[in-house]
Amino acid sequence: MAAAGGWAGGTFSNPVIPGFHPDPSVCRVGEDYYLVCSSFEYFPGVPVFHSRDLVHWEQIGNVMERPGQLRLPDTAPSSGGVYAPTIRHHDGRFWLITTDVSHDGNVLFTATDPAGPWSDPVLLPGVKGIDPDLAWDEDGTCWVTSAGISQIAIDPGTGQTLGAPRRLWSGTPGAKAPEAPHLYRVGGYWYLLIAEGGTERGHGISVARGPAPYGPFEPCPANPVLSHRSTDQAIQNTGHGDLVQAPDGSWWIVFLGVRPGGGTPGWHVLGRETFLAPVTWSADGWPVIGEATPVMAAPPWPPRPVPGPAARDDFDAARLAPHWISLRSRPQEAVSTTERPGWLTLRARGASLDDPAVTFAGRRQQHRACRARTLLDPAAGRGGLAVRLDERHHYAIEAAPDGTVRAEARIGPLRQTVGELRLPEAGPVTLRADIGGPPEAWDPRQGPDVVRLGVEEPDGVFTVLAELDGRYLSTEVAGGFTGRVIGMYAAEGTVRFDWFALEAEKDDAL
């Protein structure tokens, strides 16, 4: 298989944006595609990606990167925060609508450049529900359609609602959680694409159409048009999609899915990822989504690779790159790359990773087999390297000023030191987390991977302090909507990091 997002021998590999990048929404302007995803409790909010071929994506910014744009309190729960954005281009501007379920509700942003800066939020107190969509009809009316499925007209400049909300088609009878609506004008019809069945194994995409943006809608007789429920496909939980038309007239869909592994019932640890599949139209005018598999036939235009995030960051820039995320906020006094040039300085606010206010800077885990390392100076504080799912599910390797290094595990209500050593002398230390395949002895209760925590010597020797089952850092165990994030934290005083490296193993297929 080609590397994730790669292109070899006329194929590309799914997911096109691996790791915790759920609820994708996409729009095209000329030959350029722009895609956004949910960010939940992390700051900055709503990553923005650019591509010229729908396969190779580069993160160019974040929509919500100023404190006034995203005001998540420390009490905002994990898997709260920012849900399901929709991005559209209309009247020469980019528009983005999303839901901050922990503070502001539905909000609208605009930008002339999708890389930013984006505007301050326009509040939409009259728009109820989550997963809002934006669409403009021929007379210029702006329609917001949200989970439920309900719809209301708005003035996008002020956020004022126009008229009363109305209920639209709510999906297949008996299917739970109709959500993620997207509305499109194609030919003589308005098509309403929704997700239904819940975001677990029963997830799917269905579609209806009508003569106007408000219907009435008739369902496609072939619904769901995409679902991997009750199959042995490697990609599961497929749903929450968005259609886009390429310059050559072909149609495509980006959607979320997961790659579970291990024994039964299977555990996914990277979160919901962004996948791509082709779309054709049937003779009677319904969208037909091609089979979504790990290896797909490449689109019929030349690949245009873009640089991905560097494996190593030496913190030489004045600010962190767009792919770095923190928890709920990132106060300047707590996170700095300039206080000690060439180092990332983290100043503790919370006492441990259990604390929602902990100072943290991390990257989404994008490979199922990978290695994370960082050189930490604990002279003025206590901190370390963590593999995090939420406050109640995380593993960490932590160093203290006295030279003590501990491996810690938090699984639900239990928190335990699972390994410890005392360095011969206090000082900077390289902490390491290796994430790899499961043990060779198969067991139906076996997780998808093993997380090994320890210390790396200057000669590269890895002293492992703990070897932990990765299933406890999975959505199936922890619940919620996010995936693993690997990064650095400060639990006491001030902790400085000289560099951080997150590298995929040569064989990333577990």
Catalytic residues: 23, 179
Q: Cα–Cα distance between 14 and 309 in angstroms, integer?
A: 18
If we measure between CA atoms, which residue out of 218, 227, 238, 239 comes closest to residue 284? 218
Nearest one of 231, 184, 228, 230 to 207, comparing CA atoms: 184
Distance separating alpha carbons of residues 423 and 404, to the nearest angstrom: 6
- Select from 349, 322, 323 the least CA-distant residue to 335: 349
Phi, psi of 3, deg, nearest 5: -60, 155
Task: Return the amino acid letter for 375.
Answer: L
Q: Is 17 helix (H, G, I), strand (E, B) or coil?
A: strand
**What is the rounded distance in angstroms from the CA atom of residue 112 to the CA atom of residue 349?**
36
**Nearest in space to 298 (alpha carbons), one of 255, 259, 250:** 250
Task: For residues 253 and 305, give the distance between their C-alpha atoms in angstroms, rounded to a whole number.
Answer: 20
Shortest CA distance to 395 belongs to which of 335, 469, 445, 446?
A: 469
For residue 230 the two structure tokens come to: 């009750």
> Do residues 294 and 508 touch, judged by C-beta distance below 8 A?
no
Q: Chain centroid to CA 27: how far?
A: 18
440: its two tokens: 């060779």
Nearest in space to 101 (alpha carbons), one of 122, 134, 78: 78
- Half-sphere exposure of residue 7, counting CA atoms within 13 Å on the CB side? 15
Helix (H, G, I), strand (E, B) or coil at 200: coil
